[in-house]
Amino acid sequence: MSELVPNGAAPSPGAALRRRDAFGAKGSGDTSGFGGLAVPPPVLTDNRPPFGDDDADAVYGALERAFPGLEEAIERVVYDRGELTLHVRREHLLAVAQTVRDDPALRFELLSSLSGVDYLDDPTGRRLHSVVHLASMTYRRRLRLEVSVSVDDPVMPSLTSVWPTADWHERETYDFFGIIFEGHHALTRIMMPDDWVGHPQRKDYPLGGIPVEYKGAQVPPPETRRSYS
């Protein structure tokens, strides 16, 4: 259950770790935060079939049959709220992707989305995640692949050779998170100016206070914004 904690206050004794305010802001009028609402982080454990879902069981079973050494390639399997996510080791990503696209029992023909996430406190040290959403037109199923890398070594294979629709998605993820998709034919910024420094959606990127080119305006840091509470 979420715990309502005033800005800057300590949680109740024995309380589990909870997120409080966006980007770690404390004791300020941060209008971009959670308004004092402390949210417990979800704990998604490793699952193995049967999942109790015919489609998820069929997908995982077909992949086991089609991909020898699946246990080595997949480091974690999460089935949550009707969705199957395979956490793939980056060195096996292209092989797994080719299999789920081409195997007759899988046929995930469409990459509909590829995006980035920064889990700043990821205990593995691999805080940058690339999340890939796939759809099978043939079987009307969905599947999510997730790959994690560290800030010091933010490299993973590009999926453009398997699904061309990954092109602009990977460029945006590189632009905002700094994940380098090895093998992409033109991995350049797509939203920010070419000479922009840094990757704005990383959790340690400065929140506000960066000069912008609109009539001398500046986005103020959170601690200088007024509170509406």
Residue 1's pLDDT is what?
Answer: 37
Per the prediction, the chain carries an average pLDDT of 84
Residue 15's pLDDT is what?
Answer: 46
Token pair 């770790």 is at which residue?
Answer: 17
Residues 110-164: pLDDT tens digits?
A: 999 999 999 988 888 999 999 999 999 999 999 999 999 999 999 999 999 999 9
Q: Tokens for 154, please give them.
A: 């933010």
Q: What percent of the chain has pLDDT over 70?
A: 72
- Report d(CA 147, CA 130) in Å as an integer: 5
pLDDT over threshold 50, residue 186: yes
Q: Tokens for 170, please give them.
A: 């990977």
pLDDT over threshold 90, residue 55: yes
Question: Which residues are CB-contacts of 141 (< 8 A; sequence separation ≥ 6)?
Answer: 55, 58, 59, 108, 135
Cα dihedral sign, 55-61-64-66: negative
Residue 38, strand partner residues: 3
Nearest to 205 by CA among 55, 23, 17: 23
Structural domains for the chain: 1-41 (no CATH), 54-182 (3.30.460.80)
